[in-house]
Amino acid sequence: MNILFVADPLESFQTYKDTTFAMMREAQARGHTVAACEPRELVWRSGGVVQAQVRQIRLTGEAPQWFVAESTTVRELRQFDAVVMRKDPPFDSEFFYATHLLEQAEREGAQVFNKPRALRDHPEKLAVMEFPQFIGPTLVTRDAAVVRAFHQEHRDIILKQLDGMGGSGIFRVKDDGLNLGAIIETLNRDGAQSLMVQKFLPAISEGDKRVLVIGGKPVPFCLARIPQGGEVRGNLAAGGLGVAQPLNAVDRAVAEAIGPVLAARGLLLVGLDIIGTSLTEINVTSPTCFQEITEQTGFDVAAMFMDALQAAARR
């Protein structure tokens, strides 16, 4: 297969933990050709097809120069056997426009994973609202009075940006309501922007579990990201400790219920975030934690992903 990864700059990869790197490494080990571009390098001219300035690369197995660009050319996306969209959040206007170009490439014959329309249809925090049976009390609003009423009802809450990533823009407000007004103003920009509010889940002390679902099937191990040093956030980017562990019965039940639904919509890879027994986010843009799970358990997540990608690209 000839695989194109649409991703952040290769030079920014932290290869010891980067999931896209793990995918590329597995692809090359199987004899596939690996190429890469950034969303900014996508081009669509009137009367033409979607193209990109593409680097065909070879992984060296060495650091820090972990790849060599063997050629740089303009290629049509439909010339690749698979296009893997791995641009990190935030889901901003440029990400949105990139999904439109990728969807046009699909109409021209390209196979894109995850499907661009599915990426647009599943904002990572809002997507959980479709599955109320699996989530705790949750509110989406831009109305400060509604947020205050939610706090009065639940007393201990988490407030977060809808477009945040890596634990950024997450606040906890306890029973005393200290700084609630200032936090609302910061997140909703005086009523101009929606935010999400959730009842605080004490089970966060045991970790915010990342459950990976590939081709509709759960990876048998998750990564519990455990807050450190008095932090309320378990995100690895916020200093959380990642501990791999087998899925428990609840994790598996949630993944087996939601996974096939999302896979049928074109989401080959999904990262479910579960705290205790409650689903809190559905990550679809560039779910991570492949390397941490593999290193701690021996289960090769990248191999499972590449199996699924190969099967999907042959359809």
The CATH number of the domain where 28 resides is what? 3.40.50.20
Of the candidates 51, 69, 53, the residue with the CA atom closest to the CA atom of residue 10: 69
pLDDT of residue 313: 96
8 catalytic? Reply is no
pLDDT tens digits for range 19-33: 999 999 999 999 999
Indicate if 217 belongs to the active site: no
Q: What is the CATH number of the domain that holds 307?
A: 3.30.470.20
213 domain residue, yes or no: yes
- Cα-Cα-Cα-Cα dihedral sign, residues 308, 312, 314, 315: positive
pLDDT over 80 (residue 207): yes
Q: How far is CA 15 from CA 20, 64, 291, in A?
A: 9, 9, 9
Domain match, 28 and 47 both: yes
Catalytic one among 55, 87, 160, 209?
160
Q: Assess if residue 132 is contained within a domain.
A: no
Domain stops at, among 83, 114, 145? 114
Residue among 25, 125, 199, 209 flagged as catalytic: 125
pLDDT band at residue 112 under the 50/70/90 scheme: very high
Q: Which of 87, 225, 251, 292 is catalytic?
A: 225
* Percent share of the chain, pLDDT over 70: 99
Does 87 participate in catalysis according to the annotation?
Answer: no
Q: What is the pLDDT of residue 64?
A: 85
Domain count for the chain = 3
210 is catalytic: yes
Report pLDDT for 90: 81
Rounded to whole angstroms, how far apart are CA atoms 73 and 56? 8
Examine residue 181 and state whether it is found in any structural domain, yes or no. Answer: yes
Within-domain flag for 296: yes
Q: Is 273 one of the annotated active-site residues of the chain? A: yes
| 241 and 254 share one domain | yes
pLDDT band at 163; cut points 50, 70, 90? confident
pLDDT at 190: 87
Q: Are residues 8 and 110 in the same domain?
A: yes
Domain that residue 46 falls in? 2-114
224 and 213, same structural domain?
A: yes
**Phi, psi at residue 19, to the nearest 5°?**
-75, -40
Give the model confidence (pLDDT) of 47-58 as tens digits. 999 999 999 999
Catalytic residue among 86, 87, 233, 235: 233
The active-site residue, picked from 210, 235, 251, 292, is: 210
Is 121 within 8 Å of 115 (Cβ atoms)? no
Q: What are 263-303's pLDDT values in tens digits?
A: 999 999 999 999 999 999 999 999 999 999 999 999 999 99
Provide the pLDDT for residue 232: 77
The active-site residue, picked from 106, 208, 281, 292, is 281
Question: Quick check: is 233 catalytic?
Answer: yes
Q: Is 125 a catalytic residue?
A: yes
> Which residue out of 114, 188, 235, 283 is catalytically annotated?
283
Query: In the prediction, which pLDDT does 89 show?
Result: 85
Q: Are residues 229 and 163 part of one domain?
A: no
Give the per-residue pLDDT at 144: 96
Pairing of strands 2-6, 208-214: unpaired
Mean pLDDT of the chain: 95
The last residue of a domain, from among 60, 79, 114? 114
Residues 301 and 209 occupy one common structural domain: yes
Distance CA 219, CA 297 (A): 11
Q: What is the pLDDT of residues 130-151, one digit of tens each?
A: 999 999 999 999 999 999 999 9
Residue 188 is among the residues annotated as catalytic for this protein: no
**86, 104: one domain:** yes
Domain boundary among 80, 114, 148: 114
Selected residue with higher pLDDT from 57 and 227: 57
Residue 93 belongs to a domain: yes
CA atoms within 13 A on the CB side of 298: 0
